[in-house]
Amino acid sequence: MLAQSNINDVYTDLSGLNGIKLAGRQNTAAGLQQVAKQFEAIFLNLMLKSMRDSTKVFGEGNMLNSNEMEFYQQNFDNQISLHLTQGRGIGLADMMYQQMLRQYEVETEAEPDRAVAGESKSQFSSPSEFIETLLPLARKAASKLGADPRVLLAQSALETGWGEKIIRDSRGANSHNLFGIKSDTAWQGPVAKTATLEFVDGIPQRKKASFRRYDSYAQSFNDYVQFLRTNPRYSQAIKKAQDPVQFANELQLAGFATDPDYGQKISNVLNSRTMHSALSGQSVGD
């Protein structure tokens, strides 16, 4: 749970940064918003202090420049700073908040209703339902890679048979793994072990492997983005992300799958009649 801070106590106090440090570290939207608001208040408070200091130069010897007056002026400036940051403030907090959301890739709200409803699906009845449910998630993930969301949908459709053959764990529970990402030493989460088809020297062989298991399809998309961005071997694929065909081919060259025709198969799904039909009536852009 997010640690809450007393806004009036910390917003205009530099030492108050420690009071919401935990909230910021948690990278929650609410925590980052608190941090942004505090910095806006501190910025305004420092501006007012700077203005007060500049007037003192011209007011030396003034009987009003006493320690008591300075104390009351400081409290007054604190209140002004708090008042100016209420609501939308001066816009600085909003700008910082949006920048931190992008930097730390924090989710601010639930996916659209249809995507939320689809998070519990263990199987999809049709390609159209597959696309309708996952398109909002694909758009968000693709925007982080600079890719066309359709190529992510095509890859996940290839890996899962349009959602009909999603990997399950030993209890039959849905792994939500849309991209067939295996569990490696870097993965500390739950796994699902199952038989898979691997190509060894171009020859398909049945093997048992451990795959990453997620709590939702949103997590699968998020981990897919993280997986590509943190593995240097996929740097070329990301550079070619704007071109779906080249992106798919670069994934294959980087070894995303052992299938020697993996890139071509993604392109085939992308350009298939099934994909065009499933996308009919859908807005692919934001």
Catalytic positions, written as ranges = 198, 223
Residue 235: which of 221, 254, 255, 248 has the closest Cα? 254
Give the CA radius of gyration of the chain.
26
| Spatial contact of 210 and 188, defined as CB atoms under 8 Å apart | no
| Spatial contact of 183 and 211, defined as CB atoms under 8 Å apart | yes
Helix (H), strand (E), coil (C) string for 47-74: HHHHHHHHHHHHCCCCCCCCHHHHHHHH
**Pairwise CA distance, residues 237 & 252, whole Å:** 9
| Spatial contact of 176 and 222, defined as CB atoms under 8 Å apart | no
